[in-house]
Amino acid sequence: MKIRKKITLWISGTALFSSIVFSSFIFFELMEEPFKFIDKEIKHMTRSLVKLMKNPKQKNGLYNLSHMPYDPDLYWIEVTDKEKNTLYTSKLTQFTKLLPNGNKTTYMVEKKIPRDLVWLNQDEKDEVLFRVMVTEAQLHGQWISIRIGKPIEDLEEELIELLEETVLSLTLCILLIIIISYKLAGKILSPMVSITHMTKDISEKSLHKRIPLNRNKDELYTLSLSLNKMFDRLQYSFNRQKEFVGNASHELKSPITRLMLAQEEMIMNDHLPPSTNKGLVKQLNTTRKMSHLVKKLLDLSRLEQQETVTKKSVNMTSLIEHVLDDYSELLASKTIRLEVKLQKPLFIQGDSEKLYRLFINLVDNCIKYNLKKEGRLIVKGKKIDKGVVLEIFNTAHPIPKEDLLLIFEQFYRVEKSRSTNLGGSGLGLAIAKKIVDLHDATIEITNEPGQMIKTKVFFRDLSCSH
């Protein structure tokens, strides 16, 4: 999971938890307030009823409740003595019975009362919620029990509606928080994204680039400074490595050349025994391989020290035909059938000398690792909308997937024993890749059906009219 999403989840989770706690507190507070008023109202009714019943003018069981603070017909009222004798009941008692709930003095009870009998804001199931309060008082020296229930079905519906609105508000609030958190996380991480993009842009061709340091010396400043110091060390090591390879190759070139000349002179001596002559030939072949390797190392070292090339209009078709003509005898000796399908002419922008070397390396590689029998080499080139594409097909055994990823690395060879026998150094494709990079082009090698290997070079927007 990306850091931006993690930050969004953390902020949203914290905001959600805080919102739920705060909303729950407010909701329960709002719930308690109406019941406090209802209980206060019922207590007031209870006191007024006891006061009225104590009045000597009131007859037992026939109380005049017209002076009560609230209409008694809207309440369920039952007054009994200790012997459970009924002293007074309101009209609602004839529709339902509200039984005591243990020793509780205040409780809720829901009863079903048909609406055609009396209207108490019943719900769809004709159920009514009552808030009941039980109070004991003295009347004429006797203890009496006063049980009063107030229908609060309308309050219940309002509370349910309040709960639904709270949940809906919380949902909308969370969605808004997630959106704001995502935007905020993006803003917080934008400097990190910029640093990441800059770091990706710094490659072996642009090790001189550095990440700009902001004015605020915060954590990002420290990170950028550390990365810049790391790039300094990498650039120094990389330059030292290139210098070492170039210097070592240059220093080896002259001694190897002198050694080859000496071996060739010794071989020309007719008085040498055959065994000695044979040994010298083997040594000369090995020395020539060393000379070839040193030459390629020097070429690679020079290419690595270049960041750009001088580009001119180059006839790619003519260059490739020239390369194929140079290899015509080798193709014939290896009985490799050649097929050329090149558009004429194909012009690209580049350095003709380096492009010639690129095509030599690619063709040489395709011939060197071709099948021993019934080999084929197909060269195609055409102009497309976005540039010029060159495709070289050669028959060969499929290259393992893990090797395809490393095939352009220096000194990497797929079949090491076979490459050594064929004189391969593992630098040909590395040099080809470097030349391709200098021309802002791309190269890829893939396995194709029918024991074919495809080498594709694409020159982006480099075609020009002639």
Q: What is the pTM of this model?
A: 0.48
Distance of alpha carbon 232 from alpha carbon 207, whole angstroms = 8
Q: Provide mean pLDDT across the span 200-205.
A: 69
Please determine, for residue 156, whether its predicted confidence score (pLDDT) is greater than 90: no
Q: Cα separation of 392 and 243, whole Å?
A: 34
Beta strand 336-342 with 375-384 is: parallel
Residue 379 has pLDDT above 90, yes or no: yes
Location of structure tokens 């349910």: 160
pLDDT digits (tens, 9 = 90+) for 71-120: 888 899 999 988 888 888 888 988 999 988 888 999 999 999 898 888 88
Residue 167 identity (one-letter amino acid):
V
pLDDT of 342 strictly over 70: yes
For the chain, give every domain's residue range. Answer: 3-163, 219-304, 312-460
pLDDT tens by residue, 397-417: 898 888 888 888 877 776 654
Q: For the chain, give the mean pLDDT.
A: 83
Predicted local distance difference test score (pLDDT) of residue 466: 43
Q: Tell me what pLDDT residue 426 has.
A: 73
**180 pLDDT above the threshold of 50:** yes
Greatest extent of the chain over all pairs of C-alpha atoms, in Å: 160
Interval 11-26: pLDDT, tens: 888 888 888 888 788 7
Fold of the 3-163 domain = Beta-Lactamase (3.30.450)
Statement: residue 283 has pLDDT above 80: yes
Tokens 């709002």 belong to: 30
pLDDT above 90 (res 443): yes
Looking at per-residue pLDDT, the higher value among 193 and 304 belongs to: 193
Contact present, 45 and 69 (Cβ < 8 Å): yes
What is the structure's pLDDT at 289?
75
- Structurally, at CATH architecture level, domain 312-460 sits in 2-Layer Sandwich (3.30)
Q: Could you tell me which CATH class the domain 219-304 is placed in?
A: mainly alpha
Give the sign of the dihedral formed by CA 326, CA 331, CA 333, CA 337: negative
d(CA 148, CA 156): 18
Least confident stretch, 11-25, 38-52, 363-377, 385-399: 11-25
